[in-house]
Structure 1
Amino acid sequence: MFSDRLLAAPVNGGFAMDGHWVWCGSAIRGDDGRYHLFASVWSQSLPFWPCWVTNSRIVRASADQPQGPYVFEETVLPARDPSFWDGRMTHNPSIHRASDGTYLLFYTGSTYDAPVPTAEDPGQWGDARAALARANQRVGLATAPSINGPWQRRDEAIIQPRPGKWDGLMSTNPAPCVLPDDSILLVYKSTANQTDLLRLGVSKAEHYNADFKRLSDESILNFDQTNDHVEDPYVWYDGNQFQLIMKDMEGGICGEQYGGIHACSPDGIHWRLADLPMAYSRTVKWDNGSTTRQAHFERPQLLIENGRPTYLFAATSDANSETDYLTITRTWTMVIPLA
């Protein structure tokens, strides 16, 4: 059972940034022997919700040890001209590396033709800017020869929505898996419209410079209507099969609402739940002996070293509940060692 591998999380580990909301978190070991974490941040002068979708930026932080604490280094993908597909917002970083040494930063970007929210005019969830930014989310890829950059973004997103299909609204939550032959399996999240359930799709490219093509016209990992609602996938290849963890929005699959699901696949298209499908619980044990029930345990991603997952990174908060965004005063990326 994957959840049995989770050890006590260091209370002072992970990544937090003064004056900023922090979300996501994807780490890799650099050529300098240090660990580099890519995360999403936006100013705490803005409300957490919905300004993540309008104001987020991807940053890089570093640490001597994989558990951190990580220290901010630089903004990696700032806002740019709003005529670009990712001109206003970057989010959901997932960092990987090709065999030629190129760093591959998959992410979600968005843009919108409206003023950027500010502390004086932040907007609410019903704000047209947030709705437009959500609908305009697309998965993209930036590459760099060094962990320090320079980062080259593509002028176009790599996964476009398909109007009239299950993934007609957007593409987001990139979960890439770089294979030994440098081909890339990419799982992504989408939905048909603003109110439909969240589902996952799968695509593949023969190389990071090649186009991504869908492997299935339909969504993958489909459940009954109530539970057909998942997000935040992370995929890796263990040498024999693909493995995946993701967030259970309703709790009917893993047994805990907003807990984690574990699934396996021989080809990335046909998936089955693990015999014991719970990947993680929102109940977290800390290295000071305490246990807490986290309102948020989101965007789970793994540090893979020598082909083996060694640490789990996830976004979390001090909110009272998953949907109570008004009580949030702090968010951060937590790190959980794996046995």
Structure 2
Amino acid sequence: MARSLADRLLPAPRNGGFRMEGYWVWCGSVVQGEDGRFHMFASRWPKRLPMHPGWLVASEIVRAVSDTPEGPYEFQEVVLPARGAEYWDGRSTHNPHIKKIGDSYVLYYMGSTHPFADVQPGEDYGLEDPRCIAARANKRVGIATSQSVFGPWERKDAPILPTRPGRFDSFLTSNPAPCVHEDGSILLIYKARRYEGHTHGQMTIGAASADSFQGPYRVLTDEPVFPPDRFHIEDPYVWKTEDGYELIAKDMEGTLCGEKHSGIHAYSADGKSWSLFEQPKAYSRRVTWDDGEVQLMGNLERPFLLFQNGKPTHLFAATADGSGGFRNASNTWNMVIPIAPE
């Protein structure tokens, strides 16, 4: 029997991954470019804002590069900057997930906007701020495309996954996780919330499909693909296997794999009906570094697998120091954990 993903995780390089002085860094997604180097698309926002919910109004997607998958990655450019409140993604771009599809680089992401003034230095900002409330309600999934990993990137005038009134995704769509099939068609797993008057429903996971990355994208089920009464998860990552699909995601409560905010591992024949593996834990927040230290990270989420020659070779994850939770972090960065062969 093949070893589980959790059992194959190797010590993490202490000096690997990607971080930036003065910024919160999150959401690492990596592709090998036409130059043979490894390009990480990540989210960042200034530390003058709180880590959470600063990302909702000031996140931007950037590109960093390394000669090796482990890094360290060096900042290169802002890929999707703010572009004005009148655009659906004009105030925040977040949750990048990069794919090479045929001759195109396709960047899936969450975008949002709000009609108010930007948060100024020294100004209070939190979850009850009108800018935060509006930005959360305006979260949508979209794509940007380029013929080169260096850009330029073409952004769309509308999201690919709008909300659907009366459905589980009537309030927002976010956290896109695309799986590309050999024929170029797409299975897209995503996070959603239902509109419930002055508030919103709990996190749910949906599935959509498209004949190509350009769309249109069709939601496959009327209900979430993970029953929300049993599966409280987010941050999905999905890939194709000989038997169907596999997925890893963040366990919000720890009720599925035994450790809060660690990762679950699930499988599906069709992308719509999912079950947990017999060993459901995909990874732990307890990390072993290459200098021998074992550390319980404050956060370890937004998992992304780098595949090389059809096999997963590295797990990337957004991580934070501190005692746990967004508000207790002093620093965040994207780390990388090498994966041993099966």
1:230 matched to 2:252? The reply is: no
The one-letter amino acid of 1:299's match is R
2-structure distance, mates of 1:139, 1:61: 22
Q: How does 1:1-339 map to 2 (within 5 A)?
A: 1-99=4-102, 101-193=103-195, 194-222=199-227, 225=229, 227-323=230-326, 325=327, 327-339=328-340
Task: Report if the CA contact (8 A) 1:295-1:317 is conserved.
Answer: yes
Q: Distance in 1 between matches of 2:181 and 2:315?
A: 20
Structure 2: how far apart are the matches of 1:291 and 1:237?
32
Aligned-pair CA distance for 1:265: 1.0
Q: Residue deviations 1:311-338, cap 9 Å, x none?
A: 0111011122125x1x322110000001
Question: Matched residue of 2:132: which SS?
Answer: helix
Contact 2:31 2:306 in 1 (8 A): yes
Shift of 1:195: 4.4
Partners in 2 of 1:238 and 1:144 — Cα distance? 27
Structure 2 residue ranges without an equivalent (≥5): none
Contact 2:231 2:256 in 1 (8 A): no
Paired AA for residue 59 in structure 1: V
3-state DSSP of counterpart to 1:310: strand
Q: Tell me the CA shift for residue 120 of structure 1.
A: 2.5
**8 Å CA contact retained: 1:238, 1:308:** no
Q: Which amino acid aligns with 1:153?
A: R
Q: Which runs of 5+ in 1 are unaligned?
A: none
> Matches of 1:67 and 1:222 in 2, distance apart?
36
**Secondary structure of residue in 1 paired with 2:299:** coil
Deviation at 1:111, TM superposition (A): 0.3
- TM superposition shift of 1:266: 1.3
The CA RMSD measured in Å over matched residues stands at 1.2
Aligned partner letter, 1:66: P
Q: 1:159, 1:212 within 8 Å by CA — same for their partners in 2? A: yes
Secondary structure at 2:57's aligned position in 1?
helix
Identity, in percent, stands at 48
Cα distance in 2 for residues equivalent to 1:146 and 1:219: 35
Contact 1:47–1:122 (Cα < 8 Å) also in 2? no
Contact 2:108 2:143 in 1 (8 A): yes
The residue matched to 1:297 in structure 2 has which SS?
strand
Contact 1:190 1:201 in 2 (8 A): yes
Cα distance between partner residues in 1 of 2:145 and 2:54: 26
Corresponding letter in the other structure for 1:114:
F
1:229: Cα distance to partner?
A: 1.5
Tell whether the 8 Å contact from 1:77 to 1:90 is kept in structure 2 after alignment: yes
Check whether the contact 2:15–2:72 (CA below 8 A) recurs between aligned residues: yes
Aligned partner of residue 171 in structure 1, secondary structure: strand
Distance 2:132 2:282 in 1: 31
Task: Assess if the C-alpha contact under 8 Å between 2:160 and 2:215 holds in 1.
Answer: no
**TM-score (structure 1 length as normaliser):** 0.96
Shift, 1:46, TM fit: 1.6
Equivalent pair of 2:88/2:157 in contact (CA under 8 Å): yes
Partners of 1:184 and 1:122 in 2: CA distance: 42
CA distance in 2, matches of 1:176, 1:117: 32
CA distance in 2, matches of 1:87, 1:245: 30
Q: Displacement, 1:122?
A: 4.3
Q: Distance in 1 between matches of 2:280 and 2:232?
A: 16
CA distance in 1 between partners of 2:259 and 2:70 (Å): 26
**In structure 2, what is the Cα distance between the partners aligned to 1:81 and 1:216?**
34
Q: Structure 1: which amino acid aligns with 2:325?
A: E
Whichever residue aligns with residue 281 of structure 1, its letter is S
**Distance across 1 between alignment mates of 2:220 and 2:49:** 39
Task: Tell me if structure 2 keeps the 8 A contact 1:9–1:336.
Answer: yes
